[in-house]
Amino acid sequence: MNKIAFLGLGRMGLPMARRLESTGHTLTVWNRSAARTTGFAEVAASPAEAVRDADLVITMLADPAAVEAVVAGFADELPPGAVWIDMSSVGPAAVAEVTRRFPPGTVVVDAPVMGSVGPAGSGGLTVLAGGHPADLDRVTPVLETLGRVVRCGGPGSGAALKLVLISAVIAGVAVVGEALALADSLGLPEDLVLRTLAAGPLGGAVTRATTRDADFPVRLATKDLTLAAGGPVLTAVRDLLADHPELADHDLARVVDAIRTGTDGNG
């Protein structure tokens, strides 16, 4: 059985780690805030302590700077033959840069996820895995505990696809907000507009824009669009999110209300 070190117990990391432990995996956890480690059988005081004797090291962190800092704390302690699986949303460039910290021969898999807090705890995520085929074979049984594994290609491809998919989702929510604002100006009822939008190509975006069960903070959506560095549409949406600092810790769906009311982010 794999011994897993799980580093990062944030909004997504905590339910993912609990899912792994509840399905029989041997887990050692670490988190910058020790309060979130309550209830786990094995808790480490540092990243270096967490990875000692681990077969797999999973990081689930907020941004490239956090990944860089945490990896710097354990790279020299990683046991020979261990696998680092980064499930953070940091993009392929950051994964490649951090990989240089490891000794030659260290196995690296990038496996960011699509999904929110509920699926994270129930094994319902979509795991976007990038790496060499033999390496993916080795880690897939563990990743399948967390959800459906999509093999994206070689190293960095999972991180790359995550940026593409999440950018489309974020922009889609903004488009729904704009469509509803237009409908408001034309006097159309919300239920009619949402029902007919949902029946067409924007169905998924409507579902995401109207959900009240997700927990994807606007600040992380802004971070993802910044990493994507897209064209004029994605740049405009990124700027829109940045203009609403009051929503930074609220779910992305709240942006729809801001667009409809025309608030400028200053109160």
**223 counts as catalytic:** no
Spatial CA neighbour of 78 closest among 96, 104, 41: 104
> 98: which 2 tokens?
């951090």
- CATH (domain of 195): 1.10.1040.10
Q: Which of 154, 176, 206 is the last residue of a domain?
A: 154
- Whether 116 and 214 share a structural domain: no
- CATH (domain of 34): 3.40.50.720
pLDDT digits (tens, 9 = 90+) for 229-239: 989 999 999 99
Q: Which pLDDT belongs to residue 24? A: 93
pLDDT digits (tens, 9 = 90+) for 75-114: 999 988 899 999 999 999 999 999 999 988 889 999 999 9
Mean pLDDT value across the chain: 95
Reported as a pLDDT band with limits 50, 70 and 90, residue 264 is: low
Q: Which pLDDT belongs to residue 267? A: 42
Residue 267, domain member (yes or no): no
Percentage of residues in the chain having pLDDT higher than 90: 92
Q: Which of 95, 125, 154 is the last residue of a domain?
A: 154
Spatial CA neighbour of 142 closest among 234, 226, 23: 23
Tokens 């995550």 belong to: 162
- Whether 211 and 138 share a structural domain: no
Q: Which of 125, 154, 183 is the last residue of a domain?
A: 154
In angstroms, the Cα distances linking 179 to 60, 120, 230, 232 are: 34, 30, 22, 19
Catalytic site residue from 3, 162, 244, 260: 162
